[in-house]
Structure formats: C-alpha cells, structure tokens
Structure 1
C-alpha cells in the first residue's frame, strides 16, 4: 500500500504539472498567460484575453487534473488522509509544474476537482459560494479565498472524515494567494466583473454602429 500511495502522489503531481492554460493558449494562438494580464496561468487569466471558449477548456482540464487522481485513489481504497496528499500533489503540480519551469497558477480549479469525488453536493456548494462571492465583490481572487475558508466547514457537516484533508488543501490555496491578499489589502487588485461588463457594453455599442 505504501508503494501504491507514493506512486499515486507522484502521478498526481506529474498530471498537475501539465499546464492547461499554456497549452490551450498555444492552441488558440493567444498570449502566454504567464506573461499576460495577471501572469497567472489559469482560466481567469485566459478569460482576460476575451476568448471565453479557451477559458472554459482551461477550467475543465484544470478540474480534471484534480478529479482523476483523487477518484482513482478513492477507487483503490486509499484512506482520506492519503487522498489529501494526492490532492495536494495535484495542486502543487499545478502551482509548480515540472514541465513549465515551475511557473504555475493558484490551483483553485484543480482543488475544486479534488473535491468532486466527495460528491456533487460538496462541489455544488463550492461553486455556488465562489459565484455568489464573485457577484457580490467582483474579485476572482477574493471569491477563491472566501470559498477556501468555508470549504472545511462544508465538509465537516457533509463528510466529516475528510475535514482534515480539505483543511490542508484550503491552507495551500490561501498561502498561494499571498500576493492577491496584499493587493486586496492595499486596494490594488483589479476586479474581473467590471472589466467584462465594460467589454460587453463596448461590443453592444460596436454592434449598434
């Protein structure tokens, strides 16, 4: 079992190291997300290019990077604590990808993917919380931080045996957002909602002309 757990952790890290944002951006001939916008290779930054189709693909692939290894570990009857290590390995692969010079993203979508094997009720609550926070405040980073903070509470009431596992993942996500926390505190973070409202308005004005 120890060898199996080690293998799954390595596999999860290697899978997480495949940067969906960089690959999809190359496929769509978009700017490299590591040098565009916020510099974060994730779905939100790809969305800043205006190509929503590419952003959706990045989001789905990033979620799968977390879901597949954790689900496989659950299928192999690996315990909750070790499933947390597998999930964290997938997130660490996304944050520090071996194949992309260790320049990765925040792993929010990948962390969500690791929670999908716990059930759609859990995943649905997480997505709803993120969307509500985004709608209220307009900041993707703040929505991710607040969702990470309440995730252990949700798990405690739904599947308490995974509380420690999800708490570890939440801590990892929050630590990765240290730069965003600083910008939010100094009111330097750029909201994403206003940006796309402005773009949609510009498109409508162009159509009217």
Structure 2
C-alpha cells in the first residue's frame, strides 16, 4: 500500500512538471500570459514556433508514459495502473508547481495510453489527427480522440478497468476543453496555424 501511494504521488509530481512554462521561459516568455494562456504544445506552437512546441509535446507525452512504465516495473497492474495514469494526467492539469493550474492533458493522456495499451493508442491517434487536420481545430481533434479511444476500448473488448480509465481520461479532456467547446459552438475558436502575440516575461 505504501509503495502504491508513493507511486501515485510520484506520478502526480512527475506529471506536474510544466514543460511548456520551462521551455517558454528560456525564450523570455511567460506562456501563461500569451495566446490562450495554456501551457501545452499548441499554445507554444502559436507563440514560439514548431521547434519549442515539439520539445514540449515530447516531454508531455513522455511524462505520462514514464509513470505507467515505472508502475509496471514495480508490479502494479490492473485498476491500480489506471490510477497511476490518471494521477499523471491530473498532475499536468493541476500542477502543484503552478498553484494547481496547468494544461489540458491531451498529450499526457496520449502518453499514458501509449504505454498502457499501445495498439489502442495507435488506433486512436490517426482519428484525432485527421479531425484536427481537416477542421484545423486542435480542440476538436483532441475531444474526438477521447471519444474514439473510449469506443475502441469497448469495441476491442478491453478489460473493464481499462475502459473505465480511458473513459475518465476522455471526460477530463472534455472538462479541460469546456471553454473551447463553447467557442467552437460560437465560431470563435482559434484554428491551427494562427499566431499569438509574444510578450516577454
């Protein structure tokens, strides 16, 4: 039990590392004060370009995956492993280093899924990316990916604990994108490729 609680805490802590904030700071930019104010790769892309955005995306994916990888190395499986995945994503969304604020958890959710169930992640990715490229709305692709992952987990007969984990990750994505959903409905959502004004930190 102590090992499990420690793993959950470390997963949350590792998920809390705000790569977007740290990368943007090296450019003299406070990413929380430009564009959408989000710390994720999309806002970094709009603000600083593809290079920094790729670094942030890679780290955000990796920190979700490494939490699952470490937990498995410690013998944690099943629903407890799902808890580790959720802890990493909650760390990203509500970072202890940012006053319990954070990003929207898409890349970190994908990272946990990629290590939790690689085939499911690789089936889900092209669906989300296709919607994103066709609509040029990152938020639409993200939410579609969440729905697709849940449907695929059910269709592929994944264990109940995994379906529940994927569903909770999808619900978190919808929750963190609630403002985006409203902007999509209003026709005011930013499209992929739009630039954000940069202000130095």
* TM-score by shorter chain over 0.5: yes
**Greater Rg by CA:** 1
The Cα shift of 1:102 comes to 2.1
Counterpart mapping for 1:105-124 below 5 A: 105-124=103-122
Aligned residues: 193
Aligned to 1:130: 128
SS class of match (1:34)? helix
Task: Say yes or no: does 1:23 pair with 2:22.
Answer: yes
* 1:50 CA displacement: 4.1
Residues 63 and 113 of structure 1 are in contact (CA less than 8 Å); yes or no, is this contact kept in structure 2?
A: yes
Paired residues for 1:13-92 under 5 Å: 13-27=12-26, 29-92=27-90
Unpaired runs of 5+ residues, structure 1, are 197-209
Kindly state the Cα deviation for residue 156 of structure 1 after the two structures are TM-superposed.
2.6
Larger relative contact order (CA 8 Å, sep ≥ 6): 2
- Find the counterpart in structure 1 of residue 2 from structure 2: 3
Structure 2 unpaired stretches of 5+? 196-201
Contact 1:19-1:97 within 8 A present in 2 as well: yes
Distance 2:107 2:28 in 1: 20
Task: Report what 1:184 is aligned to.
Answer: 184
Contact preservation (8 Å) 2:121, 2:149: no
Structure 1 residue 30, shift from structure 2 partner:
4.8
Is the CA contact (8 Å cut-off) linking 2:31 and 2:37 kept in structure 1? yes
How large is the RMSD of aligned CA atoms in angstroms?
1.6
TM (norm. structure 1) is 0.86
